[in-house]
Amino acid sequence: MRQKKIDIRYIATDLSSAFISSVHKNCPNAVHVFDHLHVVKLMNEKLDDIRKKDINKRKVLKGTRKLLLRNGADIFDKEYQTSLDKALDMNKPLSQAYYLKEQLREI
């Protein structure tokens, strides 16, 4: 029995290595994009890793995890925004990762 070939141009998957290798093997010419939810989740995990590295050095970073992982546009409370701003001002790598995460959310 012959299989009919399908011209697949675009494929969206999560970040599973099984999906990635299957797409590369079976659809090498297709544009492979990753599910936005999984990419943002991965970015949030990396952002939290950066925060944890300096948590022992700076008391200001304590209690900022939820603020850092939240959608920045949803932080309306001035006290929370001030706390987030202080944490970002004290830690350049954390600040860069946070703003990259926010840009990624907008995609």
Task: Write the pLDDT tens digit of every residue in 51-100.
Answer: 887 666 666 677 788 888 887 877 777 878 888 888 888 888 889 999 99
Burial of 48 (0-12, 13-18, 19+ CB in 10 A): middle
Structural domain boundaries of the chain?
1-34, 36-106
- 4 vs 43: which has the higher pLDDT: 43
pLDDT value at residue 4? 67
pLDDT value at residue 9? 93
pLDDT value at residue 6? 76
> Cα–Cα distances in Å, from 78 out to 67, 68, 87, 89, 98?
12, 15, 14, 16, 18
Q: Identify whether the C-beta of residue 11 lies closer than 8 Å to the C-beta of residue 32.
A: yes
Asked if the model's pLDDT at residue 1 lies above 60, the reply is no
Q: State the distance between the two ends of the chain, measured CA to CA, in whole angstroms.
A: 43
